Every structure is written in structure tokens, then in C-alpha cells.
A and B are shown apart, each in its own frame.
Chain A
Amino acid sequence: MSTATIEAVCPECDAAVRFDRSPLNGQVARCADCGAELEVTSLSPLTLELAPEVEEDWGE
């Protein structure tokens, strides 16, 4: 596992989104600049997309 800071670009505001450890596919993250909820959709290259809104069958 890498200890270096890993960065990707927020698709909403173009700010850098930093991960302090290697992200996993499907991981959710929040952009510190604009607050958008994001999802890791690719690891190579590291790509973020806006996470889907809550869907009807989601829950605990």
C-alpha cells in the first residue's frame, strides 16, 4: 500500500481530491473544495465521478 498522497481531479469543480492511502474501486469520497460526493470509477488512471443519489432500495 502506498503511503504517498494520491490525487485525482474532482469532476464537479476541478479541484484536487487527495487520498492518503490507495483507493479501491467503488470507494466513495468527498471533495474538500466543493463538497460533492464522488465515487472512484477507475484505478488506472484514477478517475472520479459524481456518486449517484440515494436510490430507492438503498439502506442499512
Chain B
Amino acid sequence: MRIALTYTRLRVEERLLLDAFAAIGVEAVPVDLREAVFDLDSPGDWAGYDMVVDRSVSLTSSLTSVRILEGHGIRCMNPARAIEACSDKLMTSIALARAGVAQPRVLVGTSAESGLAAVEGIGYPAVLKPTVGSWGRLVARVNDRDAAEAVIEHRDTLGSVGQGVFYVQEHIDKPGRDIRVFVVGGEPIAAIARASAHWVTNTARGAKASGLEVTEELGGLCRRAAAAVGADVVAVDVLECPRRGYLVNELNHSMEFRNSIDTTGVDIPGRVARHAVRVAEAARSGEAVSA
């Protein structure tokens, strides 16, 4: 078996995954997407791989490569539809809503006027998020109409085209932490709680992580969230709402996990590698492994 691990930046996670494949005797070849040229008429060297594990930190490279490789019939993990659904918060919310997975209330406007109306519809405080973005960047909590008008005017005037979608989310008064559940092959394998005095509880923004037991309720919700976006491997971010219980906030298709292995005691890269082998074996024999 031969697996390509595509990347644009070889971080600790990618090395851990390469080590995990080596540990189970599977050849995983790191392929730098920045050097790749894709031929739409022929898979070329890509035909020599049983599957592709996408680990690009660049969403553009990730989606471009996976879409083309899937066009050549090469199984990619995650599939393009999962990347599309996870990388765009609006797509995530649509997928969750269609699957009936509990999430914070979301209203969307596509102009400054309707964006402000969406904020007023949610009420204060409300959370304005760019539909594409990660690590908590440009996520804004607005506590009153003055703040909402300021953020919306800035986005409308200074932002890129994508910033013209005003995705407004209900603010959840969570207990100083949020939860991240790692789902691999449909199974919730580990969870961490991320605590911070700041309302953005993202470890990229300084939140502290600790291990958390995956209860049946939490695991079931995350299993359904992963299925809703069709992801093989995904990190599900969950908020604890005092009124509604667990709510799925976001899904991450190319999750970081370096600080969650010791915290949870779970060999996350090993579990990902073993699932990738199952997916590749199924792809080779023409079967489907449900994501």
C-alpha cells in the first residue's frame, strides 16, 4: 500500500502522521502541494497512490488538489465535499441544519443593511464570523448596535468579497470553556476541554486544554455532526449552552492535534493512520467506507 500525504507546510502533526504510517508498515509519501502541477486529463504519478491524505494548511491548495484528484478517481481523506462543508461556516451550518444537529442559531445577510438586521434579529450579544477562516481570526462579539454597525461597516468597506456575507451567530454563554471532540471513521475517539478567560476559547489564542470523557450524549452528537458533513476525520467544536445543552459550533477538516495526544492519552495520529488504511483498502477493492 502506498499513501500520499499532501501538505503545504510540514508541521508537527504531519510528521506524527508520517511516523504513525511507518509504525504500521505503510509507505506514506509526503508530497509538497506547492510544487505540484495537476493535469486534468491524466493522474500521472498520482495513479501510484492508493489514496491521498490531505494535510494542507492552505484551504485553496487543499480544495484544488482534492477536487482534481477525486476527478481522477483517487480517494482522498477528507473528501472534497467534507472540506467544502467544514471550511465554510455557512456550509457547515446548512449541513448541520439539514441533518437536525443542534447548533447555535444563525442568521445571514448579504449586505450591510441585512447584516445589521441579522444581528438585531439574533439580539445582543451576537457573534459575527467570517464564513472562511480559522484559529478564531476576525471573529467578533458585538454587545450593542454601535459595535455591530462599526464591525459591519469595516467588513463592508475593507473586507474581501467573502467578507460581504454577514454570518451572525447566537452568542452562547458557555462556562468559560468549549469542547473539542476528535471523530475518526465515525467514532468519537477523544475529547478535550479548552478553557480561557477570553470568550474565544481557541488554543491558537491561548486557551488551556485538558482531557475530557466522551459521554454517549456528546459522542452521539459529534458522530452525527461528522456524518452531516461527510468527513472521515474531523474535530468537532462543541459549546455547552445553559439552556439547550451541547451545540455544535464548528468542524475542522484538517485538525491540529499535537497538544491533545498527551492530554487525552489517545494515539490520535495512530488512529487516523489506521483508519486511512481501512479507507484505502476499501477504495482499492471498490467498496465504500462510510465517513
Query: Residues of B contacting A54 with CB < 8 Å?
Result: 135, 137
Is A42 an interface position by the 8 A CB rule?
no
Query: Residues of A contacting B255 with CB < 8 Å?
Result: 60
CB distance from B253 to the nearest CB of A (A): 7
Of residues A25, A40, A58, A60, which shows the largest number of chain B Cβ atoms within 10 Å of its Cβ? A60
Q: A59-B133, A60-B135 are in contact. Are A26 and B10 (CB under 8 A)?
A: yes
CB distance from B4 to the nearest CB of A (A): 14
Against A, the Cβ 8 Å flags (1 = close, 0 = not) of B8-30 are 11110001000000000000001
Interface size class on chain B is 20 to 34
> Quick one: which of A26, A40, A56, A60 contacts B8, CB cutoff 8 A?
A26
Is B215 an interface position by the 8 A CB rule?
no
Interface size class on chain A is 10 to 19
* B134 and A58 form a contact (CB under 8 A): yes
* B134 and A28 form a contact (CB under 8 A): no
Q: A24-B30, A27-B15 are in contact. Are A59 and B134 (CB under 8 A)?
A: yes
Is B252 an interface position by the 8 A CB rule?
yes
* B135 and A59 form a contact (CB under 8 A): yes
Is A49 an interface position by the 8 A CB rule?
no
Is B256 an interface position by the 8 A CB rule?
yes
Query: Residues of B contacting A51 with CB < 8 Å?
Result: 9
* B58 and A60 form a contact (CB under 8 A): no
Against A, the Cβ 8 Å flags (1 = close, 0 = not) of B197-227 are 0000000000000000000000000000000
Q: A24-B30, A25-B32, A26-B32 are in contact. Are A57 and B58 (CB under 8 A)?
A: yes
Give the nearest-CB partner of A58 in chain B.
B57
Query: Residues of A contacting B108 with CB < 8 Å?
Result: none
Query: Residues of A contacting B253 with CB < 8 Å?
Result: 60
* B10 and A24 form a contact (CB under 8 A): yes
CB distance from A53 to the nearest CB of B (A): 12
* A59 and B10 form a contact (CB under 8 A): no
Interface positions, chain B 159-178, Cβ under 8 Å from A, are: 160
CB distance from B61 to the nearest CB of A (A): 8
Query: Residues of A contacting B8 with CB < 8 Å?
Result: 26
Query: Residues of A contacting B7 with CB < 8 Å?
Result: 26
Q: A24-B30, A25-B32, A55-B58 are in contact. Are A60 and B9 (CB under 8 A)?
A: no
Query: Residues of B contacting A12 with CB < 8 Å?
Result: none
Against B, the Cβ 8 Å flags (1 = close, 0 = not) of A5-31 are 000000000000000000011111000
Query: Residues of B contacting A60 with CB < 8 Å?
Result: 134-135, 235, 252-256
Residues of A that sit less than 8 Å from B by CB: 24-28, 39-40, 51, 54-60
Q: Would you mind naming 23 contact pairs between A and B with Cβ atoms under 8 Å apart?
A: A24-B30, A25-B10, A25-B32, A26-B7, A27-B10, A27-B15, A28-B11, A40-B10, A54-B135, A55-B58, A56-B160, A57-B58, A57-B59, A58-B57, A58-B134, A59-B134, A59-B254, A60-B135, A60-B235, A60-B253, A60-B254, A60-B255, A60-B256
